[in-house]
Homo-oligomer: A and B are copies of this chain.
Amino acid sequence: MRLTTYTDYGLRLLMYVVLKDGELATIQEVADAYGISKNHLMKVAHNLGLYGYLDTVRGRGGGLRLARAPGRIVLGDVIRRMEDDFVMAECFEPAGNACCITRACRLKGILAEALKAYFAVLDNYTLADLAGNNAVLTKLLSPA
């Protein structure tokens, strides 16, 4: 059930950028604020750009900012894009599925229904709900 580190870092990065409130954020300061790998964050930031969540301003004084309002970045969408797959069991993988009861098994449908309920909750929240109006979060992420 665990989110990948890639998704986890992606969400942390997005929250950080929201809290900057339009000011540019650098990968270095995000890495420093959370104490996490700058290299990992670079890949994450690059892909968040491709997904349309972040804009990069290049050159000296450059950095990252949100590509749209935080209220328009839905948590379920971010997690769907960032996670590798939503394989709940062998039968969700057509290629590697050797389970002989797949044709008659009702478990797959039930697991798919549970996954849908999981995402229905995540689709109720946006980045604004996560990071907006969160003074304690801002303080925790400010340079000492």
Contact = CB atoms under 8 A, between A and B. Distances in A.
B89 A106 contact: no
Q: Is the contact region of chain A dominated by helix, strand, or loop, or is it mixed?
A: helix
B113 A121 contact: yes
Contacts of A136: 103-104
A114 interface: yes
Contact of A114 (B34, B106, B122): B122
A33 interface: yes
Contacts of A98: 35
Contacts of A58: none
Interface in A92-144: 98-101, 103-107, 110-111, 113-122, 125, 129-131, 134, 136-137, 139-141
Contact of A110 (B100, B116, B117, B121): B121
A29 interface: no
Given A3-B88, A115-B118, A117-B117, 4 more contacts: A3-B89, A35-B98, A105-B130, A107-B130
16 contacts: A1-B115, A15-B105, A34-B101, A75-B110, A100-B140, A104-B137, A104-B139, A105-B130, A106-B130, A110-B121, A110-B129, A114-B122, A115-B118, A117-B118, A117-B120, A118-B118
Top 3 nearest A-B pairs (CB, nearest first) are: A104-B136, A114-B121, A104-B137
